[in-house]
Structures are given as structure tokens and as C-alpha cells.
């Protein structure tokens, strides 16, 4: 993998560990714990426009980008109804779909996750609700937390017109409701070719839960998923 990127993540995570005790004390004393996306732990509103939850027995696909794909994949792997989640690249060409090149931020690719799900168990709108509420901060432009660059941008790659309509309607709904302290910058783009990432990126959260980056930035998202959406969480 890109050694410089990994070292940066590790250094930032180590810095968090130093201030972890102070942060923990603050959170214990604070009456409301903020979530990673800037809201409270109360869930954002459910989408008013969604696909039907019955009558569609075939698996469907969603492609979402919201920062480092390790955490995005890891969260959706713990959502009921998700049959598989694969890290990869979307938005650019095949010739540049490798980690070293994508990490330059010049390829048009975003670190993305392809989600295969059973629409009779979880709807596309429910996946988007988790995406906006748990996975990422949709108000951050071309970055997520410590990771900066267009490859970390927030994108919904709509696979068809139904998905595009649901995503557009939900973003408008959340902006009207003032669900976030700033306007949502998540882009809704047409479906594009998805390129699986290298093998060492797959299942990274589950394989390395104690790594400094995962422990600091991504494991708390699993705790939030479990507490905020218990009916959709699976161990």
C-alpha cells in the first residue's frame, strides 16, 4: 500500500491515543455525545422516498464512497441484509485503478465500496441513512477526518434512476430538515465501472480491529451503528 499514507494515518491515530483519556473524560461529563458526522446520537430522519421493501427477491447493488474504504466496508459488513461489501475504486479509468495511483488524487477515482444487499431485508434508503448518519460526514468536501483529497470525497454512484431519485430526494430532505450543521456536499453520480481494490485492503476492519487507525476512526462507528440502529446491526 502507499507507505506515506499509511504512516500518516498511523501518526494521526497515535496522536489521538495521547489525548484519548482527556476526550473520554469530556464525553462522560457531556450530556450529549456527538457522533462522527456532527449530529447527536439521535438518528437522522428516515428517507420519505424509498424503494419498496418487498417483492424484489433478487440481490441489488449499491456503490458508495465516503472516505477511507476500510471503515465504509467494515460498517456495511455489519448491516443486516448486506450479503457482501467490497472495497475498490470508482469514478476513473481502469488504467489508474490501483492504490498507489489513486492516492495521488489525480485519477478521478474515489475510494468506494460495492455493497450487495437483499432488498427484502434492507432497503436502499436504509443503506443511505446509515451512510449519512454513521459512515461519514457529508458536509466535508474532498476529505473525511484526517484523510484529505478527492479520492476521499463523498459520492453516491447511483446504479439506476430509482437509486438516483431516492438519493436526490433524501439529500434535499436532510438539507430542509437541517440535519447537519452545514449543507450536504455529497455528490450523486451516475453508476460507473467499479474496480476491486487490492487484496490487502479487503476486510481490513475485521482483520485489523486493533490497528491504531481502525481503532481510532472506525471501530466507534460500529458501536454507533449498534446503538443507533439496533434492528439493522448484526455482529
Active site positions, annotated:
68
Q: How do 187-190 and 154-158 pair as beta strands?
A: parallel
Cβ count near 165 (within 10 Å)? 14
Contact 66, 144 (CB under 8 A): yes
- Per DSSP (E only), the strands in the chain are 60-66, 82-90, 110-117, 143-144, 147-148, 154-158, 187-190, 194-196
Rounded CA separation 232/152 (Å): 26
User: Which of 178, 116, 188, 125 lies closest to 156, judged by CA?
Assistant: 188
Amino acid at each position: 500500500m502507499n507507505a506515506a499514507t499509511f504512516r500518516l494515518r498511523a501518526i494521526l491515530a497515535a496522536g489521538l491515543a495521547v489525548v484519548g483519556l482527556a476526550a473520554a473524560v469530556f464525553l462522560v461529563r457531556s450530556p450529549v455525545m456527538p457522533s462522527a458526522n456532527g449530529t447527536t446520537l439521535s438518528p437522522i430522519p428516515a428517507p420519505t422516498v424509498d424503494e419498496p421493501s418487498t417483492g424484489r427477491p433478487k440481490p441489488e447493488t449499491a456503490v458508495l464512497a465516503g472516505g477511507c474504504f476500510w471503515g465504509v466496508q467494515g460498517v456495511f459488513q455489519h448491516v443486516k441484509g448486506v450479503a457482501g461489501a467490497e472495497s475498490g475504486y470508482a469514478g476513473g479509468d481502469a488504467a489508474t485503478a490501483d492504490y498507489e495511483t489513486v492516492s495521488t488524487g489525480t485519477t478521478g477515482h474515489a475510494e468506494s465500496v460495492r455493497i450487495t444487499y437483499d432488498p427484502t431485508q434492507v432497503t436502499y434508503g436504509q443503506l443511505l441513512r446509515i451512510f449519512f448518519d454513521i459512515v461519514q460526514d457529508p458536509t466535508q468536501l474532498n476529505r473525511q477526518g484526517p484523510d484529505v483529497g478527492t479520492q476521499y470525497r463523498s459520492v453516491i454512484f447511483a446504479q439506476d434512476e430509482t437509486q438516483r431519485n431516492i438519493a436526490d430526494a433524501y439529500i434535499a430532505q436532510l438539507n430542509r430538515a437541517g440535519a447537519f450543521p452545514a449543507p450536504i456536499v455529497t455528490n450523486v453520480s451516475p453508476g460507473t465501472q467499479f474496480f476491486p481494490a487490492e487484496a490487502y485492503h479487503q476486510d481490513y476492519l475485521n482483520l485489523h480491529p486493533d490497528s491504531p487507525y481502525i481503532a481510532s476512526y472506525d471501530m466507534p462507528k460500529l458501536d454507533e451503528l449498534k446503538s443507533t440502529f439496533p434492528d439493522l446491526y448484526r455482529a
